[in-house]
Amino acid sequence: MADDSGRGVSRRDVLTTSAGLGSAALLAGCTGGFASGGDGGDGGSGGEGSYTVSMAPTGEVEFDAPPESVAHYFPGYADMAVALGHADSINSIGVVSRYHVDHYDELDGVAIDKSSLTELVGDSGIDKELFYDLESDLHLIDPKWLVNNGFFGFEQADIEELSENVAPFLGNTVFRRTDKWHDYRFYTMYEAFGKMAAVHQEQERYESFRSFHDEFLATLQASLPSADARPNGLLCFAGSDEPEVFSPYRLTDKGTNKKPFRDLGIPDGLAGTGIEGLSTNDRGQIDYETMLDVDPDAIFIRGHEDKSRQEFEDTVVAFMQDHNTASELTAVQEGRVLRGGPIYLGPIQHLFVTERLALELFPDSYSGDLFDRDELAEIVTGNRSG
């Protein structure tokens, strides 16, 4: 049987989304039960042997079973899938190099083969045919992210077509909160993580992970220096080993990739400066002269997560130390130029990045591993619950 486009109807049964994105299908097996939406969740039960998960902006999606093959754009959501024990379901990432997986090496039994992932973004955007080739059970991608990024070349009609012919969309752009087109509900990291637990029917594993996170933060924050003893920080992006200009972010943004800084109580070094530092598709830049006017206590530079701390210091930090203007910055002189963490951050990555920042910023307060790797690995691999 073929649809109006001449394509064969897929192997999946038809499922309907309440957001009007059309219909799609999932047939990954058979399961029943109720799917909670997690923190702030609004999931519900579907028909017999099915369950639903609801998330803005797509609304309610009905599943016959947990999806076996899932198209991802954001590495943060992929990290959630790994945390829930479903690494094998991930078939793609927007830009594979932005999915940082080195932390998994510290967790016994936790791994993902990045070489098996399809990269969605090419030189001319995203080829819609890739989604047909992947034949995913679910597109775990905020469709408004695709439509509102002109470079991708997507229109609403493309979303509707893929929803009808391949699989539904579900997901919310949560890594930042500065896009004007994002006029629908945002989710915290753990609210979005709870939704993914509902998708994969891994609520118990999610609750174990969330408890681990809460205990980690409670212990960490109990030893934090007082607020007046914490440095303010400038978070920026500069991928070069010899950076001259930087794209600034605001730590006051509540996006998920700022969570480590919020958890450590790091004040925004750009507060009151008039520098917006908007993280959108239209980015501004600052140079060392502007940075010196602000003179933050600490500088967190993104774009170097593939480097060790020593490699970062031997390249970026060494360049800044030898630079006529950069060398005058307080952060450079006092040794507080640090890697800023991934742009797209998931719950496993969050634990490691928060620990790293705590150790580097507050060596008098913390040392060694700040959470138990074996215990976390047991949660992720399903060998521990409760």
pLDDT of residue 273: 82
pLDDT in tens, 46-89: 556 799 999 999 999 999 999 999 999 999 999 999 999 999 99
CA distance 260 to 282: 25
User: What are the residues facing 233 on neighbouring strands?
Assistant: 268, 298
Among the residues of the chain, which ranges form H helices?
75-83, 129-134, 143-148, 156-165, 189-200, 203-222, 259-263, 288-294, 309-312, 318-322, 330-333, 347-361, 373-380
Cα–Cα–Cα angle for 198, 371, 223, nearest 5°? 115
C-alpha 336, offset from chain centre:
25
CATH topology of domain 15-210: Rossmann fold (3.40.50)
pLDDT of residue 22: 38
Tokens describing residue 157: 């009609």
Tokens describing residue 352: 């490691």
Give the range among 36-50, 131-145, 321-335 with minimum mean pLDDT. 36-50
What Rg do the C-alpha atoms of the chain give, in angstroms?
22
pLDDT in tens, 202-231: 999 999 999 999 999 999 999 999 999 999
pLDDT of residue 106: 98
pLDDT of residue 48: 61
Tokens 């790293």 belong to residue:
356
pLDDT of residue 275: 80
pLDDT of residue 16: 38
Q: What percent of the chain has pLDDT over 90?
A: 81
Q: What is the pTM of this model?
A: 0.88
Give the residue from 182, 180, 196 showing the smallest Cα distance to 144.
182
Q: How do the domains of the chain map onto residue ranges? A: 15-210, 226-365
pLDDT in tens, 136-179: 999 999 999 999 999 999 999 999 999 999 999 999 999 999 99
Q: Is the pLDDT of residue 279 over 90?
A: no
Equal CATH topology for 15-210 and 226-365: yes
226-365 placed in CATH 3.40.50.1980: yes
